[in-house]
Amino acid sequence: MSTEKVQPGLVIAGRYRIVKQLGEGGVGAVFLAQHVHTDERLALKVLHNETLSDPSTIERFRTEARAPARIDSDHIVRVTDADVAPEIGGAPFLVMEFLRGRDLAGEAEARVKLHPKEVVLYLRQAARALDKAHAIGIVHRDLKPENIFLTVREDGTPYVKLLDFGIAKITGGAASSMGAHSKTKTGAVFGTPLYMAPEQARAQGQLIGPHTDVWALGLIAARLLLGFDYWQAETISDLVVQIVVDPIPPPSQKGSPFGPAFDAWFLRCCNRDASQRYRTAGEAITDLAAALGVVEGPALALEVTEILQRSQAQEGAAKHTVVGAPMHLAQSDPGPRPVFASTPGPQNPMAVTPMGAAPLSSQAAMGATVLAASTAVPMPSASSTQGSSGSKAPMFAGIAVVVLAIFGAAVFLGARSGGGDSKGSAAPAVEPAPLPLPTATAKAPVTADPPTTVEPVVAATAEPTAEPTAEPEAARPAVSAKPTAPVSTATSVPPKTAPTTTTKKKPNDDDLMSGRR
């Protein structure tokens, strides 16, 4: 296909340098390009080779290039150039303004539901473009959230642009001025099934008109407000039956919280009798605002700006949460990546594409978005992780202080006890009560200095400790001492004990003169 030749760095038609590919569809691919003379960034669309032999595809491509310029609305994507290029085998291409943002399908996938004020503002802007197109004989007939692109102005206020007029029906003066002819013929079906009107599903091209786009507006509003596709069908044939034959249920039967006024509005937009629908898109949105209780005016744009900014801020936190990735990766990741809350176990979602690897379901053929997005599981922040580990530090510090205090007390007692006998050859007759231990054990005979080893104390007790086991008489000198009181707590310093001394006879003058002591 011709798109295979389009690689970064290739210059098309001598003026558009390819930067990267932005997306690909059934009939062509879209690339980010830069004008070699002005440096302006643009979107360049190229048809696949296999579509070049189809005259209807070429005709739709020309319509997509010409219709926006003919309508001339601020809310339709601007096409700046269209031509063929030898660099891509003579395939046609068109150049459009490069929009920053995402379509309403992506917005709804990320947020599930949109605020009623947002829906009114976005569809009001789309309705302005549609009414201008209808007035000159152009019917979009492929309206869906994917073809309404949401972007923001420099001041932050949001606005939408309609995309893809490729299958637009051109009638009346627009057909003659654009050199186009109607591509609709009996038996030909154009549009996306989920948003098709009955006249489209029946392939009644002669009945298609502005009311066809009004039908789609009703389904788009329901999708954005309710958070799901209005038609729930497993196959295309079941879907067509729901559109054409089955009774159309009001939104309240599908869980709508917006009351009977919204039910009546939806059933009028999606009335199978085209004559009973709203005559214009603008009239439909006026009644939608009334049904939802939204007041239109200059203040609405500012309110929607705040709503959108809050939602983007919340979504931004989710974008930077990488399931199963290390903390530093989750914090430093600057680019938006899809987050899969349902992914079991630690898995790096960077290896999972938005389209996934699952086979194409029947919903794809109906035009439903196939992106696999969900609510991010917020990853614990660095501050919470640090807090959980740091909370243990005071406990360890307290234990260390208690152990050091006990050790110091024991050393102090040993020094005091050893100082009573200058020769240090015997221990005191009665030792201080030992620190409380979990179980009472017999103490080994003391033959040298008192031991200084201290075991950690589990809990302090106020009861007196057990008396030490009496030592053998042969192992201790004959001394007299007063017993000391038991220590009441393990952490307090024991009271000072008077050193025990042996009674000695005071030498007289004769002993001193003879040298005896």
Q: What angle do CA 352, 353, 359 make, to 5 degrees?
A: 100
Same domain? 158 vs 262: yes
For residue 244, list its beta bridge partners.
Answer: none
Same domain? 128 vs 247: yes
The residue behind tokens 């609305």 is 73
Same domain? 262 vs 160: yes
Same domain? 88 vs 134: no
Q: What is the mean pLDDT of residues 108-131?
A: 97
Position 516 in a domain: no
Tell which of 259, 278, 309 closes a domain: 309
Position 128 in a domain: yes
Tell which of 31, 62, 97 closes a domain: 97
Task: Return the pLDDT at 52.
Answer: 74
Same domain? 55 vs 152: no
Domain CATH for 228:
1.10.510.10
Share in percent of the chain as helix, strand, coil (round to 5): 40, 10, 50
Catalytic residues: 142
- Model confidence at 248, pLDDT cuts 50, 70, 90, reads very high
Domain CATH for 53:
3.30.200.20
Same domain? 91 vs 127: no
Distant-in-sequence, close-in-space partners of 48: CB < 8 Å, separation ≥ 6: 1, 2, 3, 27, 28, 29
What is the Cβ-side half-sphere exposure of residue 132, based on CA atoms within 13 angstroms?
Answer: 16
Position 44 in a domain: yes
Query: Which of 145-149, 250-254, 365-369, 397-401 is the least confident region?
Result: 365-369
Task: Return the pLDDT at 126.
Answer: 97
Same domain? 170 vs 241: yes
Q: What is the mean pLDDT of residues 468-473?
A: 43
Which sign, positive or negative, has the C-alpha torsion 335, 339, 345, 351? negative
Position 87 in a domain: yes
Query: Which of 193-202, 392-401, 474-483 is the least confident region?
Result: 474-483
Q: 390 vs 140, which has greater pLDDT? A: 140
Alpha-carbon distance of 149 to 153, in angstroms, equals 13
Structurally, the chain folds into a number of domains equal to 2
Tell which of 257, 279, 309 closes a domain: 309
Position 242 in a domain: yes
- Model confidence at 477, pLDDT cuts 50, 70, 90, reads very low
Same domain? 242 vs 143: yes
For the entire predicted model, the pTM comes to 0.61
Q: Domain span at residue 45?
A: 2-97
Position 245 in a domain: yes
Same domain? 83 vs 121: no
Same domain? 164 vs 92: no
Task: Return the pLDDT at 507.
Answer: 56
Position 238 in a domain: yes
- Model confidence at 120, pLDDT cuts 50, 70, 90, reads very high
Q: 366 vs 124, which has greater pLDDT? A: 124
Task: Return the pLDDT at 413.
Answer: 61
Same domain? 89 vs 139: no
Task: Return the pLDDT at 71.
Answer: 92
According to the per-residue pLDDT averaged within each range, which of 55-59, 222-226, 438-442 is highest?
Answer: 222-226
Q: What percent of the chain has pLDDT over 70?
A: 57
Same domain? 74 vs 122: no
Position 200 in a domain: yes
